[in-house]
Amino acid sequence: MPSFTLNRRSAGPVEAVWKLLHDPTRFPDWWQGVETVAVRTADPDSSAYTMWPAGYPDFPMEQRLDATPGRVTISCLVSELIFVWRLREDGSGTEIEVTVELPEREARRLDDQRRLIEESLLTLARLAVDD
């Protein structure tokens, strides 16, 4: 399974990073390639939401968010990409690590995903300071 792991430190507190990672409605603020998100409010215990990629308003992609202390996993139910975000308090800031796994049939997207996630990590780290 093609995958990669990236790290970045944020000067923002772990709580601020957690809020941005745990709330899909904030993803368009920092996650490159995510244009719009709709969270299902009918079931408050649901971890499902729909994401529309930038430039594809007619292509809704169902997602699942699972969170445990210090870890948020986003699973795309359409393309089966998995994003595992881990947070660790680092002095006055936060160490952010993300591992991305792609199914073999999506391997051609590896370089594009790496670029998007590198940009997203930078934006997330900066936004956590200002939030």
Residues spanned by the domain of 58: 3-130
Q: Per-residue pLDDT tens for 69-99?
A: 999 999 999 999 999 999 999 888 999 999 9
Kindly state the tokens that stand for 84.
């595992």
35: enclosing H helix or E strand: strand 34-39
Q: List the strands of the sheet with 3-10, edge to edge.
A: 3-10, 93-101, 82-90, 71-76, 61-68, 48-53, 34-39
Which of 39-53, 56-70, 88-102 is predicted with the least confidence, judged by mean pLDDT? 39-53
Top mean pLDDT of 67-71, 105-109, 119-123 is at 119-123
Task: Show the tokens assigned to 32.
Answer: 């490159």
Q: What is the CATH classification number for the domain harbouring 101?
A: 3.30.530.20
Q: How many domains does the chain have?
A: 1
Confidence category of residue 43, pLDDT binned at 50, 70, 90: low
Please tell me the predicted confidence (pLDDT) of residue 41.
Answer: 66
Residue pLDDT, tens place only, 29-41: 999 999 999 987 6
